[in-house]
Structure 1
Amino acid sequence: MEVLPTLPHRHLTTLTLDVDFGGVVAIGATAAGHRGIAPVRGGRFEGARLSGSVAPGHDWFITRADGALVIDVRLTLTTDDGATLHLAYHGTMRAAPEVMAQFRKGVLLPAEDYALHVIARFECGDPRYAWLNDSVVVGIGEQTLVGPIYRLFEIG
């Protein structure tokens, strides 16, 4: 059996979002699944090299026929030292069908009952954060009653 090296990574930031679940716009059934748009009211991100606030944005989501939730989020971030960043991430939340049914009813799920994974991409014109433009970032998420919390990791 070949032993593969561990994927080098380090914590980049923890993103905490405030989502307006009551303001979700239901688009309805589409060819891809049931589409909706959830308003993000704002939030915060905290890390050793990357901290600041989240401006209002949106989470475009699809509930697929297999019950998985596919997310597509785009946000504007402002670092504590004044740089403006664009953050886009997409991913999936997967769990057993009965667990996802509870999630859709607004039930807070035990973290071990689901998997929420994302791939993130940052863009920034500020030279202090130009390194983000080439960063490979993945994350794991956790559901809360206010919105998700993502722990984002830089690969490499």
Structure 2
Amino acid sequence: MATPLFEDLPPALQRVQARPLFVLRLDVKPIVTVGDTPGPFRRIGIVPSGTFAGERLAGAVLDGSSDWQTVRSDGSTMLDVRLVLRTGDGVAIPMSYRGIRHGPADVMQRLDKGEAVDPAHYYFRINPIFEAPKGRYEWLNRVLAVGIGHRFPDGPVYSVFEVL
């Protein structure tokens, strides 16, 4: 059986469509390097604060969030992040995401040193999942989201999109 080419598929299956959900900025304390463990090389970023803003929701990131990073032997960094978003009207929404950041070794070394790097020179993507309570924001529980990231010295910024 032949695999259909994209142009042979219905238009709805030929491209991913998305709309902006919000921009997320995280403040991250200096990375805690655990180092080699029985499993991966581990780093942890403690997230004391941040903000998010979009057309349908905006607010702050609560203290106590964290970014558990696995640095792989190929130089890629895998992210495992847990955040609590607090909307402007006081609703707490847990958000978690997995992600990957990689690029040429010299670019990644510059990022690790806190130097400015053009986001076009490396790959940084996430896939957020939400656990909103019943009410105004429960629609988030049925959203598949993707984010494009950029790392600044004090933390990342993400453009987060709802996949339609």
Separation of aligned partners in 2, 1:111 and 1:2 = 29
Q: What TM-score do the two structures reach when normalised by structure 2?
A: 0.88
Out of 65, 76, 88, the position equivalent to 1:80 is: 88
Determine which structure has more spread, i.e. the larger CA radius of gyration.
2
The counterpart of 2:55, out of the listed 21, 37, 48, is: 48
| d(CA) in 2 for partners of 1:103, 1:142 | 10
| C-alpha contact (below 8 Å) 1:32/1:62 kept by paired residues | no
Question: 2:140, 2:72 → 1: CA distance?
Answer: 31
Structure 1 moving runs of 4+ over 6 Å: none
Q: Name the structure 2 match of 1:13.
A: 22
5+ residue gaps, structure 1, are none
Q: TM-score, normalised by structure 1?
A: 0.92
Aligned pair partner of 1:2 in 3, 6, 9: 6
| Aligned-partner residue type, residue 135 of structure 2 | P
Gaps of 5+ in 2: 8-12
Measured after TM superposition, the shift of residue 42 of structure 1 is 0.5
In 1: Cα distance, 2:139 partner to 2:39 partner: 35
Is the CA contact (8 Å cut-off) linking 2:26 and 2:47 kept in structure 1? yes
**Deviation at residue 96 of structure 1 after TM alignment:** 0.8
Deviations along 1:13-64, one digit per CA (max 9) or x if unpaired, are: 110111112xx22221135531011111201000000101001211100111
Of all paired residues, the percent bearing the same amino acid is: 36
Q: Does the 8 Å contact 1:136/1:155 carry over to 2?
A: yes
Q: How many residues align?
A: 154
RMSD: 1.4
